[in-house]
A and B are shown apart, each in its own frame.
Chain A
């Protein structure tokens, strides 16, 4: 039931771009994205509701293709502060979220 995330890990230099993908085998009502820094609680980044909208938050944006049950998180011109583990959470209609295994993003100077 957990969504599948790819890649498992990414290493970037400051200023480079990255894409993290999330796919589910179930029809979805929404997709959430979270970032967790080492030793800290996951922090909510954004939610995408079915309807295929794209959202943005500073230089981080995401899309949701409800027909394919897929979402992608785009990190543009990455900064050191973007380092952490990114989780997608998928929510079918029964209102309980499942999370992917996470993508570890490392941004180097």
Chain B
């Protein structure tokens, strides 16, 4: 069964901490994405990657960075966590070029910054 795995289901971090959110997919997908999900705002794109060591900014990259050293792993980094980064973070992956399979999402990491 195809899978996108996010390392933590729940995280609580302190303001100013550096936070790493990990995402691993086992489908050999080229594309990987990080979204944050907030009530009333839906899913907003933070960063995405088409290939190893490649990254592109989404709509809300401020305060975040990413790393993709291996094809199957895409990490989201909060350089200095702030309370307004409290959110649900969803990782997704897909084939490139586009296919009719859509995106496969992980179950999400609910991050609380206190």
Q: Report how far A109 CA is from B58 CA in the complex, Å.
A: 41
- Judge whether A101 and B100 touch: CB under 8 Å: no
Q: Which of B90, B101, B105 counts the most chain A CB atoms within 10 A?
A: B105
Q: Report how far A68 CA is from B30 CA in the complex, Å.
A: 31
- Judge whether A30 and B98 touch: CB under 8 Å: yes
Q: Which residues on the B side are within 8 Å of A96 (C-beta)?
A: 33, 45, 48, 56, 58
Q: Within residues 1 to 56 of chain B, which ones have a CB less than 8 A from any CB in chain A?
A: 4, 31, 33, 35, 40-45, 48, 50, 56
- Contact of A42 (CB < 8 Å), options: B41, B56, B59, B90: B90
Query: A98 in the interface, Cβ–Cβ < 8 Å?
Result: yes
Q: Report how far A95 CA is from B103 CA in the complex, Å.
A: 12
Q: Which residues on the A side are within 8 Å of B33 (C-beta)?
A: 96-97
Q: Which residues on the A side are within 8 Å of B102 (C-beta)?
A: 32, 34, 44-47
Query: A74 in the interface, Cβ–Cβ < 8 Å?
Result: no
- Contact of B42 (CB < 8 Å), options: A29, A46, A102: A102
Query: A64 in the interface, Cβ–Cβ < 8 Å?
Result: no
Q: Report how far A91 CA is from B92 CA in the complex, Å.
A: 15
- Judge whether B58 and A99 touch: CB under 8 Å: no
**Total contacting residues, chain A, CB less than 8 A:** 26
- Judge whether B103 and A89 touch: CB under 8 Å: yes
Contact with B along A41-53 (1 / 0, CB 8 A): 1111111000000
Q: Which of B35, B44, B103, B108 counts the most chain A CB atoms within 10 A?
A: B103
Q: Which residues on the B side are within 8 Å of A29 (C-beta)?
A: 98
Across the interface, name the chain B residue whose C-beta is closest to A29: B98
- Judge whether B96 and A41 touch: CB under 8 Å: no
Across the interface, name the chain A residue whose C-beta is closest to B103: A44
- Judge whether A91 and B108 touch: CB under 8 Å: no
Q: Report how far A32 CA is from B105 CA in the complex, Å.
A: 13
**What residues make up the interface of B, taking CB atoms closer than 8 Å to A?**
4, 31, 33, 35, 40-45, 48, 50, 56, 58-59, 90, 96-98, 100-108
6 more contacts with CB within 8 A, not counting A41-B90, A95-B50, are A29-B98, A87-B43, A91-B98, A95-B97, A99-B44, A101-B42
